[in-house]
Amino acid sequence: MRERLLEPQAQGDILQYVSTFHDRLSAAWKVAAQNLTGAKERMKGQYDRKAVQRSFVPGDKVLVLTPVGRERFGTRFSGPYMVVRKVGACNYVISTPERRQKTRLCHINLLKLYVERDTANPVGCIVVVPSDREREEGFLAPEPVGARLDNSRACEQLQEQLKHLLKAQAQDVMALVAAHPSLFRDRLGLTSLVEHDVDTGGVMPIKQHPYRLPPFKKEKVREEVEYMLEIGAIEPGSGEWSSPVVLIPKSDGCRVDSRFTIYRYA
Protein backbone atom coordinates (compact mmCIF):
# COMPACT_ATOMS: atom_id res chain seq x y z
CA MET A 1 0.00 0.00 0.00
CA ARG A 2 2.90 2.32 0.77
CA GLU A 3 4.37 1.65 -2.64
CA ARG A 4 1.05 2.35 -4.33
CA LEU A 5 0.50 5.58 -2.41
CA LEU A 6 3.96 6.92 -3.23
CA GLU A 7 3.66 6.21 -6.94
CA PRO A 8 2.90 9.31 -9.01
CA GLN A 9 -0.03 7.60 -10.67
CA ALA A 10 -1.64 4.17 -10.43
CA GLN A 11 -0.48 1.60 -12.95
CA GLY A 12 -2.39 -1.46 -14.06
CA ASP A 13 -6.01 -2.27 -13.65
CA ILE A 14 -8.12 -2.52 -10.48
CA LEU A 15 -8.41 -6.31 -10.51
CA GLN A 16 -4.64 -6.75 -10.51
CA TYR A 17 -4.28 -4.33 -7.58
CA VAL A 18 -6.97 -6.08 -5.52
CA SER A 19 -5.45 -9.51 -6.15
CA THR A 20 -1.95 -8.36 -5.17
CA PHE A 21 -3.25 -6.60 -2.05
CA HIS A 22 -5.17 -9.73 -1.01
CA ASP A 23 -2.03 -11.86 -1.34
CA ARG A 24 -0.07 -9.43 0.82
CA LEU A 25 -2.75 -9.40 3.51
CA SER A 26 -2.80 -13.20 3.53
CA ALA A 27 0.98 -13.34 3.96
CA ALA A 28 0.84 -10.76 6.78
CA TRP A 29 -1.97 -12.71 8.50
CA LYS A 30 0.09 -15.92 8.38
CA VAL A 31 3.08 -14.16 9.97
CA ALA A 32 0.85 -12.67 12.69
CA ALA A 33 -0.76 -16.07 13.36
CA GLN A 34 2.65 -17.70 13.73
CA ASN A 35 3.82 -15.00 16.15
CA LEU A 36 0.59 -15.32 18.15
CA THR A 37 1.00 -19.10 18.38
CA GLY A 38 4.56 -18.73 19.64
CA ALA A 39 3.50 -16.11 22.21
CA LYS A 40 0.69 -18.37 23.46
CA GLU A 41 3.07 -21.30 23.86
CA ARG A 42 5.54 -19.18 25.83
CA MET A 43 2.78 -17.82 28.07
CA LYS A 44 1.37 -21.30 28.66
CA GLY A 45 4.81 -22.66 29.52
CA GLN A 46 5.36 -19.85 32.00
CA TYR A 47 1.90 -20.32 33.54
CA ASP A 48 2.21 -24.12 33.78
CA ARG A 49 5.73 -24.07 35.16
CA LYS A 50 4.58 -25.35 38.58
CA ALA A 51 1.52 -27.22 37.34
CA VAL A 52 1.02 -30.82 38.48
CA GLN A 53 -0.98 -33.47 36.68
CA ARG A 54 -3.94 -34.38 38.87
CA SER A 55 -6.71 -36.94 38.53
CA PHE A 56 -9.31 -38.63 40.72
CA VAL A 57 -10.93 -42.02 40.66
CA PRO A 58 -14.47 -42.94 41.73
CA GLY A 59 -14.56 -43.26 45.51
CA ASP A 60 -12.02 -40.53 46.28
CA LYS A 61 -12.99 -37.86 48.79
CA VAL A 62 -12.52 -34.28 47.61
CA LEU A 63 -13.15 -30.73 48.79
CA VAL A 64 -15.14 -28.47 46.46
CA LEU A 65 -14.54 -24.72 46.08
CA THR A 66 -17.98 -23.13 46.46
CA PRO A 67 -19.22 -19.52 46.81
CA VAL A 68 -20.01 -18.18 50.27
CA GLY A 69 -23.62 -17.05 50.68
CA ARG A 70 -24.39 -13.75 49.00
CA GLU A 71 -20.79 -12.57 48.84
CA ARG A 72 -19.84 -11.88 45.26
CA PHE A 73 -16.18 -12.87 45.50
CA GLY A 74 -16.23 -15.00 48.65
CA THR A 75 -15.35 -18.68 48.26
CA ARG A 76 -14.40 -21.56 50.52
CA PHE A 77 -13.76 -25.29 50.35
CA SER A 78 -16.65 -27.43 51.55
CA GLY A 79 -16.99 -31.16 51.92
CA PRO A 80 -15.65 -33.76 51.82
CA TYR A 81 -17.67 -35.25 48.96
CA MET A 82 -17.36 -38.52 47.08
CA VAL A 83 -16.28 -38.69 43.42
CA VAL A 84 -18.92 -40.57 41.40
CA ARG A 85 -17.41 -40.67 37.92
CA LYS A 86 -15.20 -38.81 35.49
CA VAL A 87 -16.73 -36.86 32.60
CA GLY A 88 -14.30 -35.88 29.88
CA ALA A 89 -10.71 -34.96 30.57
CA CYS A 90 -11.19 -32.35 33.32
CA ASN A 91 -14.71 -32.73 34.76
CA TYR A 92 -15.98 -34.95 37.57
CA VAL A 93 -19.42 -35.73 38.97
CA ILE A 94 -19.43 -35.20 42.75
CA SER A 95 -22.02 -36.64 45.14
CA THR A 96 -23.55 -33.93 47.36
CA PRO A 97 -26.27 -35.72 49.37
CA GLU A 98 -26.91 -32.89 51.87
CA ARG A 99 -27.58 -30.32 49.13
CA ARG A 100 -30.69 -29.82 47.07
CA GLN A 101 -28.84 -31.01 43.96
CA LYS A 102 -27.66 -34.52 44.84
CA THR A 103 -24.88 -34.58 42.23
CA ARG A 104 -22.78 -31.80 40.82
CA LEU A 105 -20.48 -31.51 37.79
CA CYS A 106 -17.23 -29.79 38.78
CA HIS A 107 -14.05 -28.87 36.95
CA ILE A 108 -10.87 -30.34 38.39
CA ASN A 109 -9.57 -26.86 39.25
CA LEU A 110 -12.42 -26.56 41.77
CA LEU A 111 -11.49 -29.82 43.51
CA LYS A 112 -8.85 -30.64 46.10
CA LEU A 113 -8.04 -34.08 47.44
CA TYR A 114 -9.26 -34.63 51.00
CA VAL A 115 -6.70 -36.41 53.18
CA GLU A 116 -8.16 -38.09 56.24
CA ARG A 117 -6.31 -37.79 59.51
CA ASP A 118 -4.95 -41.01 60.94
CA THR A 119 -6.94 -42.17 63.94
CA ALA A 120 -4.80 -42.45 67.06
CA ASN A 121 -5.29 -45.68 68.96
CA PRO A 122 -4.93 -45.55 72.76
CA VAL A 123 -1.60 -46.89 73.98
CA GLY A 124 -1.28 -48.58 77.34
CA CYS A 125 1.32 -47.46 79.84
CA ILE A 126 4.43 -49.61 79.47
CA VAL A 127 6.65 -48.30 82.26
CA VAL A 128 6.48 -45.61 84.91
CA VAL A 129 9.58 -43.40 85.05
CA PRO A 130 10.27 -41.94 88.50
CA SER A 131 10.85 -38.22 88.76
CA ASP A 132 14.00 -38.60 90.87
CA ARG A 133 17.25 -38.87 88.97
CA GLU A 134 19.93 -41.23 90.18
CA ARG A 135 23.36 -39.66 90.27
CA GLU A 136 26.71 -41.33 89.83
CA GLU A 137 27.42 -41.18 93.58
CA GLY A 138 24.61 -43.65 94.19
CA PHE A 139 21.94 -41.53 95.92
CA LEU A 140 18.79 -39.92 94.63
CA ALA A 141 18.88 -36.19 93.98
CA PRO A 142 16.16 -34.18 95.74
CA GLU A 143 13.50 -32.44 93.76
CA PRO A 144 14.39 -28.90 92.63
CA VAL A 145 12.88 -26.23 94.82
CA GLY A 146 11.76 -22.70 94.18
CA ALA A 147 11.66 -19.55 96.30
CA ARG A 148 9.65 -21.27 99.06
CA LEU A 149 12.20 -23.35 100.93
CA ASP A 150 11.54 -26.40 103.07
CA ASN A 151 14.75 -26.41 105.09
CA SER A 152 13.07 -27.35 108.37
CA ARG A 153 11.98 -30.72 106.98
CA ALA A 154 15.41 -31.22 105.41
CA CYS A 155 17.13 -30.50 108.73
CA GLU A 156 14.91 -33.04 110.49
CA GLN A 157 15.92 -35.67 107.92
CA LEU A 158 19.53 -34.49 107.65
CA GLN A 159 21.01 -37.76 108.87
CA GLU A 160 19.00 -39.64 106.26
CA GLN A 161 20.22 -37.28 103.55
CA LEU A 162 23.89 -37.78 104.49
CA LYS A 163 24.04 -41.56 104.21
CA HIS A 164 26.34 -41.35 101.20
CA LEU A 165 29.05 -39.67 103.33
CA LEU A 166 31.42 -41.21 105.81
CA LYS A 167 30.38 -41.08 109.46
CA ALA A 168 32.96 -38.40 110.33
CA GLN A 169 31.99 -36.29 107.32
CA ALA A 170 28.30 -36.54 108.16
CA GLN A 171 28.96 -35.45 111.76
CA ASP A 172 30.93 -32.41 110.53
CA VAL A 173 28.08 -31.36 108.24
CA MET A 174 25.49 -31.79 110.98
CA ALA A 175 27.59 -29.75 113.42
CA LEU A 176 28.01 -26.99 110.84
CA VAL A 177 24.27 -26.82 110.20
CA ALA A 178 23.52 -26.77 113.92
CA ALA A 179 26.01 -23.92 114.46
CA HIS A 180 24.28 -21.65 111.93
CA PRO A 181 20.53 -22.20 112.22
CA SER A 182 19.71 -18.75 110.81
CA LEU A 183 21.15 -19.77 107.45
CA PHE A 184 18.83 -22.72 107.05
CA ARG A 185 15.41 -21.20 107.61
CA ASP A 186 12.39 -21.78 105.43
CA ARG A 187 12.34 -18.14 104.34
CA LEU A 188 14.92 -16.41 102.21
CA GLY A 189 17.23 -14.13 104.10
CA LEU A 190 17.83 -10.43 103.55
CA THR A 191 21.03 -8.65 104.55
CA SER A 192 21.00 -5.22 106.16
CA LEU A 193 24.74 -4.61 105.99
CA VAL A 194 24.91 -3.32 102.43
CA GLU A 195 22.63 -0.92 100.59
CA HIS A 196 22.78 0.21 97.00
CA ASP A 197 21.33 3.45 95.66
CA VAL A 198 20.64 3.72 91.93
CA ASP A 199 21.40 7.26 90.76
CA THR A 200 19.33 7.96 87.64
CA GLY A 201 20.54 11.54 87.30
CA GLY A 202 18.31 13.88 85.37
CA VAL A 203 17.01 11.41 82.82
CA MET A 204 13.31 11.13 82.12
CA PRO A 205 11.69 8.35 84.19
CA ILE A 206 10.62 5.23 82.34
CA LYS A 207 7.11 4.20 83.24
CA GLN A 208 5.95 1.07 81.47
CA HIS A 209 2.38 -0.08 81.52
CA PRO A 210 1.67 -3.53 82.98
CA TYR A 211 1.31 -6.45 80.61
CA ARG A 212 -1.89 -8.42 80.35
CA LEU A 213 -1.71 -11.88 81.88
CA PRO A 214 -3.95 -14.90 81.38
CA PRO A 215 -6.02 -15.95 84.41
CA PHE A 216 -3.78 -18.87 85.40
CA LYS A 217 -0.74 -16.56 85.45
CA LYS A 218 -2.55 -13.81 87.37
CA GLU A 219 -3.02 -16.16 90.32
CA LYS A 220 0.65 -17.13 90.21
CA VAL A 221 1.77 -13.48 90.14
CA ARG A 222 -0.55 -12.61 93.03
CA GLU A 223 0.86 -15.45 95.16
CA GLU A 224 4.45 -14.44 94.38
CA VAL A 225 3.85 -10.78 95.23
CA GLU A 226 2.14 -11.63 98.52
CA TYR A 227 4.92 -14.04 99.48
CA MET A 228 7.70 -11.53 98.70
CA LEU A 229 5.88 -8.81 100.66
CA GLU A 230 5.51 -11.22 103.56
CA ILE A 231 9.21 -12.10 103.77
CA GLY A 232 10.28 -8.48 103.23
CA ALA A 233 12.00 -9.00 99.89
CA ILE A 234 9.98 -6.17 98.32
CA GLU A 235 7.96 -3.21 99.57
CA PRO A 236 5.31 -0.95 98.02
CA GLY A 237 6.79 1.92 96.03
CA SER A 238 5.50 5.33 94.99
CA GLY A 239 8.24 6.44 92.61
CA GLU A 240 7.88 7.57 89.02
CA TRP A 241 9.80 4.60 87.66
CA SER A 242 7.85 1.42 87.00
CA SER A 243 8.33 -1.80 85.06
CA PRO A 244 5.92 -4.70 84.46
CA VAL A 245 6.42 -8.10 86.05
CA VAL A 246 6.65 -11.19 83.86
CA LEU A 247 6.82 -14.95 84.38
CA ILE A 248 9.80 -16.48 82.57
CA PRO A 249 9.62 -20.26 81.93
CA LYS A 250 12.57 -22.15 83.36
CA SER A 251 14.67 -24.39 81.12
CA ASP A 252 16.14 -26.66 83.80
CA GLY A 253 13.13 -28.94 84.08
CA CYS A 254 12.27 -27.67 87.54
CA ARG A 255 8.78 -28.22 88.91
CA VAL A 256 8.55 -24.48 89.43
CA ASP A 257 7.72 -23.83 85.83
CA SER A 258 8.27 -20.07 85.80
CA ARG A 259 10.51 -17.42 87.29
CA PHE A 260 8.95 -14.26 88.73
CA THR A 261 10.96 -11.27 87.52
CA ILE A 262 10.74 -7.66 86.33
CA TYR A 263 11.04 -6.67 82.68
CA ARG A 264 13.16 -3.59 82.09
CA TYR A 265 14.65 -2.05 78.99
CA ALA A 266 17.01 0.87 78.59
Q: Which of 261, 263, 265, 255 is nearest to 221 (CA)?
A: 261
List, in order, residues 6 or more apart from 248 with CB less than 8 Å away: 258, 259, 261
Domain assignment of residue 18, yes or no: yes
Domain assignment of residue 129, yes or no: no
Domain assignment of residue 225, yes or no: yes
- Domain tally for the chain? 4
pLDDT single digits (tens) 183-241: 877 777 777 788 888 788 888 888 877 777 788 788 888 888 888 888 777 888 777 88
* Angle at CA of residue 250, ends 134 and 242, nearest 5°: 150
Task: Check pLDDT > 80 for residue 37.
Answer: yes
Domain assignment of residue 238, yes or no: yes
- For residue 160, what are the domain limits? 151-184
Name the strand (E) or helix (H) holding 3.
helix 2-6
Domain assignment of residue 236, yes or no: yes
Domain assignment of residue 131, yes or no: no
In the Cβ-directed half-sphere of 91, how many Cα atoms lie within 13 Å?
Answer: 7
Domain assignment of residue 135, yes or no: no
DSSP 34-54: HHHHHHHHHHHHHHTTT----
In a shared domain, residues 66 and 37: no
In a shared domain, residues 70 and 36: no
Domain assignment of residue 123, yes or no: no
| pTM assigned to the model | 0.36
pLDDT single digits (tens) 157-186: 888 888 888 888 988 988 888 888 878 777
Tell me which of 163, 184, 205 is where a domain ends.
Answer: 184
